[in-house]
């Protein structure tokens, strides 16, 4: 459990709160059920960020006490909340690996943390979900890696269809692969991006 006083989420600063991380299988009504549990236990949700991908959901919620508007430090309340959220995230599955709940977040940027959670989950690699996309030839991603021996670094070039947060996802992926990005160049032409 980690309380994060004055934690910045995106561009908004929030007072004392408790961070909750959830990851599991997505289904209709899941967010409503999570909200109902938190409301019944007298928690306010100050911020919530949710990502879904291939029937998986990852979310980071910042909550505080309904009465004091401060972070929650009662271990009994937190334990009850964790058990109820695990039950909801598990759904009708009996496998404990289907869902995870955590209260420790640190000071990682929220989008970065969600990317890390889904990357670590890696359930998208199985479960009958097809991961290969049939791109038209003009939009098929092209990735090259060139080693620049005299400078001591590699140049990674990604050419693909442009979209929101493309650069962010590329940097996160390279970071997850334990590469250090110290320079980037971005250009786009219509629906295409070169990074």
Q: Please provide the DSSP assignment of 124-159 as one string.
A: GGSTT--------TTTS-EEEEEEETTTTEEEEEEE
Same structural domain for residues 63 and 146?
no
Contact present, 37 and 85 (Cβ < 8 Å): yes
Residue ranges making up the domain that contains 55: 8-125
Same structural domain for residues 51 and 17?
yes
Same structural domain for residues 82 and 163?
no
In-domain check, residue 49: yes
In-domain check, residue 134: no
In-domain check, residue 45: yes
In-domain check, residue 137: no
In-domain check, residue 79: yes
pTM value > 0.75? no
The alpha carbon of 150 is separated from its chain's Cα centroid by a whole number of angstroms, namely 37
pLDDT of residue 6: 37
In-domain check, residue 43: yes
The alpha carbon of 56 is separated from its chain's Cα centroid by a whole number of angstroms, namely 11
DSSP secondary-structure letter at 123? G
Same structural domain for residues 115 and 188?
no
* Residue tagged 């964790």 (tokens): 82
pLDDT of residue 40: 93
Same structural domain for residues 106 and 14?
yes
Which tokens hold the place of 118?
């889904």
Helix, strand, or coil (residue 12): strand
Q: What residues are paired with 12 via a beta bridge?
A: 9
DSSP secondary-structure letter at 27? -
Q: Assign residue 68 a region (left: φ > 0; alpha: ψ between -120 and 50; beta: otherwise).
A: alpha
pLDDT of residue 14: 46
pLDDT of residue 36: 92
Contact present, 90 and 24 (Cβ < 8 Å): yes
CA atoms within 13 A on the CB side of 161: 8
CATH code: domain of residue 114? 3.30.70.260
- Number of folded domains that form the chain: 2
DSSP secondary-structure letter at 3? B
Other beta carbons within 10 angstroms of residue 90's beta carbon come to: 18
In-domain check, residue 133: no
Same structural domain for residues 20 and 113?
yes
Q: What is the mean pLDDT of each run of 10 residues along the chain (195 residues)?
A: 37 59 86 91 87 81 86 84 86 52 51 68 50 59 86 85 78 80 80 72
In-domain check, residue 112: yes
pLDDT of residue 135: 52
Angle of the 166-176 helix axis to the 110-121 helix axis, nearest 10: 60
């Amino acid at each position: 459990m980690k309380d994060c006083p004055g934690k910045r989420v995106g561009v908004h600063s929030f007072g004392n709160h408790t961070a909750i991380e959830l990851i599991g299988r997505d289904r209709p009504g899941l967010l409503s059920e999570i909200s109902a549990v938190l409301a019944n236990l007298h928690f306010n949700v100050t911020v919530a960020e949710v990502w879904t991908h291939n029937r998986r959901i990852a979310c980071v919620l910042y909550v505080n006490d309904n009465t004091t508007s401060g972070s929650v430090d009662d271990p009994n309340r937190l334990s009850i909340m964790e058990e109820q959220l695990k039950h909801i995230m598990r759904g009708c599955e009996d496998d404990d690996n289907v869902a995870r709940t955590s209260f420790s977040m640190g000071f990682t940027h929220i989008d970065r943390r969600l990317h890390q959670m889904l990357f670590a989950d890696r359930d998208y690699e199985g479960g009958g979900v097809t991961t290969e996309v049939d791109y038209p030839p003009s939009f098929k991603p092209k990735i090259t890696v060139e080693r620049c021996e005299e400078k001591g670094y590699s140049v990674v070039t990604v050419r693909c269809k442009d979209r929101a947060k493309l650069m962010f996802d590329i940097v996160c992926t390279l970071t997850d692969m334990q590469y250090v990005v110290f320079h980037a160049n971005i250009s786009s032409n219509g629906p295409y991006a070169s990074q």
